[in-house]
Amino acid sequence: MPEIRRRSAPATRAAILDAARVRFGADGFDRVTIRDIAGDVGVDPAMVIRYFGSKDALFAEASAFDMELPDLTGLAPEAVADVLMVRFFDVWEDNAGFLSLMRAAATSKVAADKMLELFSRQVAPVLGSAAVDRPADRAALVGSQILGLALSRYVLRVPPLVAMSQEELRTLIGPVITHYLTGKVFE
């Protein structure tokens, strides 16, 4: 555990941001109070406002994150699905920002729009480049499965999906991703 320097503004700010990520990821925007977060850090609620301006601004910073998807052009569709799912598991399991945003998106229009933009700017292009046609439609279908998995496994905690390993899920869902990207959609 890193020695926390007392009376260090950047350290305190970072600690507040970390606590906010955890809280927002666990309970969502509305159910978390500034007093909660300040209490976790052991600091006065006024500090939160001092460093972040408002609860909304704090949430915006806490739920910001980057998918950092690699360039996948030229890869075989099966490989695309695999690489993608590996990356998603990484993001989901050690970046509370995504869970925060998804939880908030369920009840907040601005959060929903933010998530939509994240998807269309970062994820959809990569997916679309691997699609045989109708890139937007196919990317959206893949997204629905990916999001459904995240919701079921990390929010609802559906027991079978929680019990399965990442590898198992990849082998089960990967073919579906590939199918959405390459399968025939017209008869």
Partner DNA sequence: CGGTTAAGTCACCAACCGTTGACTTGGAGG
Partner DNA sequence: CCTCCAAGTCAACGGTTGGTGACTTAACCG
Question: CB of 42: closest distance to DNA in angstroms?
Answer: 7
Rg (C-alpha) for the chain, rounded Å, is 19
64 binds, among a copy of itself, DNA, none (CB under 5 to 8 A by kind): none
Q: Which residues are at the interface with DNA (CB under 7 A)?
A: 6-9, 12, 32-35, 42-50, 53-56
User: Per CB under 8 A, does 172 bind a copy of itself?
Assistant: yes
Q: How far apart are CA 17 and CA 58, in angstroms?
A: 7
Question: CB of 116: closest distance to a copy of itself in angstroms?
Answer: 6
Q: How far apart are CA 9 and CA 130, in angstroms?
A: 46
Q: Which of residues 17-76 bind a copy of itself (CB under 8 A)?
A: 27-31
Identify which of residues 9 and 172 has a Cβ nearer to DNA in the complex. Answer: 9
Angle at 38 between CA 61 and CA 48, to 5 degrees: 45
Q: How far apart are CA 162 and CA 36, in angstroms?
A: 28
Question: CB of 29: closest distance to DNA in angstroms?
Answer: 8
The b/e string for 32-54 (b: 16+ C-beta within 10 A; e otherwise) is: bebeebbeebebeeebbeebbee
Question: CB of 137: closest distance to a copy of itself in angstroms?
Answer: 5
Give the count of alpha carbons within 13 A of 60, CB side only: 9
The residue ranges that bind a copy of itself (CB under 8 A) are 27-31, 102-103, 105-108, 112, 115-116, 119, 136-137, 139-141, 143-149, 151-153, 155-161, 164, 171-173, 175-176, 179-180, 183, 185-187
